[in-house]
Amino acid sequence: MSPSRQLDRLAIALSAICLAHCLAVTLLVATLPLAAVRFGGDAHFHWFMLWVVLPTSLLGFYLGFRGHRRPEIASFGLVGMSLLTVAALTGHGTWPEYLEIVISVVGSLILAGAHWSNFNEVRRLQPQA
């Protein structure tokens, strides 16, 4: 299996984790207020995810683009990464919580969709063994 396909799979899984986090954190913090304090708060999770998601995604799109040469797939991914980055860096503590969640969820869905397209395009172009 190509490195691009492996990175796309990893990035899709990371996007799913981010999406689950964004949807569940409000309920978690509302029912278990000590959880946010115990684990360093929501902002730490977003920073950690950016440090993992951005390099993985950039490398996956780069490797995929080398094979399929479809800039719209990488551009779609950059939009998703940009939304996640803006929400993580400027949204926490500045925006209303619902806005940060909405932008994070939309960014995660766009990024996962771009990785899915990248994965499928690389798979389509590779000879089947």
For the stretch 67-92, pLDDT in tens is 899 999 999 999 999 999 999 888 87
How much is the pTM?
0.71
Q: Which domain holds residue 71?
A: 3-125
The predicted model gives 96-115 an average pLDDT of 88
Bigger pLDDT: 97 vs 44: 97
Number of domains in the chain: 1
- Residue 40: per-residue pLDDT: 54
Bigger pLDDT: 40 vs 85: 85
Return mean pLDDT, the chain: 79
CA pair distance 129, 126, nearest whole angstrom: 9
Q: Which tokens is 87 given?
A: 């929400």
- Residue 82: per-residue pLDDT: 96
The predicted model gives 97-110 an average pLDDT of 88
- Residue 35: per-residue pLDDT: 44
- Residue 72: per-residue pLDDT: 97
CB-based contact 119:5 (threshold 8 Å): yes
Q: Which tokens is 103 given?
A: 């932008």
